[in-house]
Amino acid sequence: MNILITGINGALGVTTARAAIRMGHNVKGFGHPSLVRKKKIEEVEYIEGDLQDKHKLKKCLRNTDVLMHFASLTGFHKGLSGYVQSNILGTTTLLDVIDEENFPVQKIIFASSASLYGEGAYRCRIHGNIFPSIRSTEQLKQKKWDHFCPECGEVIEPVPTREDKKKVNGHIYAVTKQVCEKIIHDFAVRHNAIGVSLRFSILFGPNQFKGIIPLFSSKITSSDCVTLSEDGKQIRDFIYLEDAAKSAILAMNAIPESDSFNVGSERPVSLITLQRLLEQNFGIASRLEISNDYREDDIRHLFLDCSKIKGFGFLPEISLEEGIRKYINWYKDHYK
């Protein structure tokens, strides 16, 4: 297969490219010039540019069988337009070039995000499944962190979130991921292609410089205080980059029609537990502060039900504990 990976300089792009090359595929990469750390791979034909540069995109997309669209503006930045320009306009320009040049791309694999669900799924022991909205500012000011059953008022228990859950996202990043999924899947229908969206939980591993695990690692190794909002008991799901790359290869080889899939470890942990695991593996006693404060639009718990993609043979192999050890070995080597 001839594969084009956008966002090739990102950790997911690098990891997936290496996996595809090991399997004998030809890989081209498209990366943004603003990235300071360029993790180029010798075997990859690399083109640098902006996703709204049609001339550069034509060079990349020619002879492409599979497009892995991983490029995205992530994180929490001020403003809205940056996310729209990078994620939505970048995606639509990419698809416009395929359309205008009549490139016969067979499959588009999109790196989506579990963040588009907003809050995760919950269950009341009496009243069953509940899908709450984002907590109100009034509730958060009262330091009531949990969700409550609207019928009986009891604290409800988080459960794995399935793909068919209603989207109640609050952050613009999550909104752009949801919009891009819709755009890509509709485009695939019109062009007799297959569009597969992979809704990743929190990615981590070597070559990653942004995100919660790199942030905690930096603070621990520099003796800064790790600060957790609320009570630190928020639950999240983390998936190692090699497992995430496996899901992209699986999507290319085994998924026969357009669809969206959760991709996570199915082994969620609290943020306090994550901090302690990092501290133990670094062998450094760090300072931890529970702020008992909140961030607007933040969610309480979210972890994924991945049974749908597991039905196609996906099985994550790297546990959080093993992944953290691998990441720390890379981190120490990279920053020594």
β-partners of residue 304 are: 161
Q: Which residue has the tokens 């509730």?
A: 139
Q: Residue 57: is its pLDDT beyond 90?
A: yes
Third-level CATH fold of 2-334: Rossmann fold (3.40.50)
Query: What pTM did the predictor assign?
Result: 0.95
pLDDT band at 288 (very low <50, low <70, confident <90, very high): very high
Q: Residue 37: is its pLDDT beyond 60?
A: no
Of 294, 12, 306, nearest in space to 170 by CA: 294
Mean pLDDT of the chain: 94
Q: Mean of the pLDDT values across residues 118-133?
A: 96
Question: Residue 306 in contact with residue 198, Cβ under 8 Å?
Answer: no
Q: Mean of the pLDDT values across residues 88-97?
A: 97
**For 254-277, how does the pLDDT look when each residue is reduced to its tens digit (9 = 90+)?**
999 999 999 999 999 999 999 999
pLDDT band at 42 (very low <50, low <70, confident <90, very high): confident
DSSP 300: S
Q: What pLDDT, on the 0 to 100 scale, is given for residue 229?
A: 97
Sign of torsion over alpha carbons 49, 54, 55, 59: positive
20, two tokens: 């595809």
Amino acid in the structure at residue 151: E
Coil, helix or strand at residue 123:
strand
Q: What pLDDT, on the 0 to 100 scale, is given for residue 255?
A: 97
Tally the C-alpha atoms within 13 A of residue 102's C-alpha that lie toward its C-beta.
Answer: 0
Phi, psi of 182 (to 5 degrees): -60, -45
pLDDT band at 167 (very low <50, low <70, confident <90, very high): confident
Q: What pLDDT, on the 0 to 100 scale, is given for residue 98?
A: 98
